[in-house]
């Protein structure tokens, strides 16, 4: 019975992808881009999650749970570090790191950082004459706790500081994430609210952070050989976003992933604007993950993401 149910879930997931691809310009979700500051906070942690199309709220079982859902940190049994890098648009690079450390049974401490380097920008004075080059960056640093408070239930909280700088101008805000997760035998259900906190202020002008709430479902039958996930996200300064992902595992070592996001239309939409594929290799003490998003919506370019995961036995 369970196998038939999972087969139906996978068939429905594939059917939804095909339907949206055929609909073309029909927008199933919208986000009202530009209504909040610090949009870089929507850049997810880890190439593994990117391969799922960002449908990772209910999976969130490693050090990157510090970003996706701090409740998932409680599942870590050993210390773990995740390092990620990708080139985003033109000279913009994104560096990410996450760390999880079990403190006691069911209690895990985590931290994560995202650094977006915009390189140098040519400066001009009020008359339009070129001046010296300007530097700019975005930075988010978070500290998390995940705790398993019942056999199948866990909760988590993240406190973070967000900073944006353009030359001598800087803005700082403080925010928090709250997460909850229920883990069954072959499925998980989770909820998280992210980036709620103070406004980000440049001079006297304050702008809201991109606060969002997410619900997630993950199903992992066949001893984890197949993992399929679904996320529903409501951005407080936007509308709904629906994400879907699936992973196929072979010999508990090789993994293939794909995901699809229903994202807002900009100049029409195509399959490539929200489609991702990925792969992973597990070496036991380390994982190597890769994700590819053709014609990425945020940059209009093909996006390649890499991340490394290292585990340290007690």
CA torsion angle for 273, 213, 63, 189 (degrees, to 10)? -100
pLDDT above 70 for 178: yes
**pLDDT per position as a tens digit, 140-150:** 999 999 999 99
Q: What is the pLDDT of residue 30?
A: 33
Q: What is the pLDDT of residue 124?
A: 66
Task: Taking residues 248-269, report their average pLDDT.
Answer: 78
CB 109 within 8 A of CB 137: no
CATH number for the region 2-312 comes to 2.40.160.60
pLDDT above 80 for 118: yes
CB 212 within 8 A of CB 229: no
Enter the pTM of the model. Answer: 0.81
Taken in order 239, 188, 260, 14, is the CA torsion positive or negative? negative
pLDDT above 80 for 179: yes
What average pLDDT does the structure give for the chain? 82
Q: What is the pLDDT of residue 219?
A: 95
pLDDT above 60 for 128: yes
- What contacts 7, CB < 8 A, 6 or more positions away? none
User: E-assigned strands of the chain?
Assistant: 79-87, 93-104, 107-124, 130-148, 153-166, 169-183, 187-197, 200-202, 205-207, 212-219, 226-235, 240-250, 254-262, 275-282, 286-293, 303-312
Most confident of 196-205, 207-216, 287-296: 207-216
Return the minimum-mean-pLDDT range out of 24-33, 70-79, 92-101, 171-180. 24-33
**pLDDT per position as a tens digit, 21-77:** 443 333 233 334 445 678 889 888 999 999 999 999 999 989 999 999 999 999 999
Return the percentage of the chain with pLDDT > 70, whole number: 78
- What contacts 88, CB < 8 A, 6 or more positions away? 94, 116, 298, 299, 303
Taken in order 20, 224, 180, 71, is the CA torsion positive or negative? negative
pLDDT above 80 for 230: yes
Measured distance CA(33)–CA(10) in Å, rounded: 31
**pLDDT per position as a tens digit, 132-141:** 777 788 999 9
Report residue 170's pLDDT band, with 50, 70 and 90 as the boundaries: confident
Q: What is the pLDDT of residue 32?
A: 42
Return the minimum-mean-pLDDT range out of 85-94, 143-152, 153-162. 85-94
Tokens of 256: 């293939």
pLDDT above 80 for 94: yes
Strand partners, 194: 212
Task: Taking residues 181-192, report their average pLDDT.
Answer: 93
Domain boundaries, the chain: 2-312
SS3 67: helix
pLDDT above 50 for 270: no
Angle at the Cα of 54 from the Cα atoms of 111 and 185, rounded to 5 degrees: 80
Measured distance CA(7)–CA(42) in Å, rounded: 31
DSSP for residue 69? -
Q: What is the pLDDT of residue 265?
A: 44
Q: What is the pLDDT of residue 238?
A: 73
């Amino acid at each position: 019975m369970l196998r038939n149910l999972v087969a139906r879930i996978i068939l429905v997931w594939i059917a939804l992808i095909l339907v949206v691809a055929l609909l073309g310009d029909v927008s199933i979700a919208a986000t009202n881009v530009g209504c909040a500051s610090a949009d870089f906070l929507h850049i997810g942690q880890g190439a593994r999650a990117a391969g799922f199309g960002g449908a990772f709220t209910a999976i969130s079982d490693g050090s990157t749970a510090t970003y996706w859902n701090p409740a998932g940190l409680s599942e870590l049994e050993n210390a773990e570090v995740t390092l990620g890098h990708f080139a985003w648009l033109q000279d913009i690079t994104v560096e990410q790191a996450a760390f999880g450390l079990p403190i006691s049974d069911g209690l895990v401490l985590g931290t994560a950082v995202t650094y977006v380097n915009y390189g140098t920008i040519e400066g001009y004075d009020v008359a339009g004459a070129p001046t010296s080059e300007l530097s700019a960056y975005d930075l988010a640093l978070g500290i998390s706790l995940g705790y398993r408070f019942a056999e199948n239930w866990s909760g988590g909280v993240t406190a973070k500081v967000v900073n944006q700088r353009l030359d001598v101008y800087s803005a700082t805000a403080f925010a928090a994430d709250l997460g909850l997760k229920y883990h069954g035998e072959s499925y998980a259900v989770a909820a998280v609210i992210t980036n709620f906190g103070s406004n980000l202020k440049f001079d006297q002008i304050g702008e809201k952070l991109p606060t969002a709430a997410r619900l997630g479902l993950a199903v992992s039958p066949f001893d984890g050989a197949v993992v399929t996930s679904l996320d529903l996200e409501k951005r407080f300064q936007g509308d709904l976003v629906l994400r879907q992902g699936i992973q196929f595992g072979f010999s508990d070592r090789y993994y293939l992933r794909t995901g699809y996001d229903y994202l807002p239309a900009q100049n029409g939409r195509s399959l490539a604007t929200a489609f991702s594929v990925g792969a992973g290799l597990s070496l036991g003490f380390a994982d190597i993950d890769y994700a590819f998003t053709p014609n990425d919506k945020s940059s209009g370019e093909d996006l390649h993401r890499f991340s490394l995961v290292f585990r340290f036995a007690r």
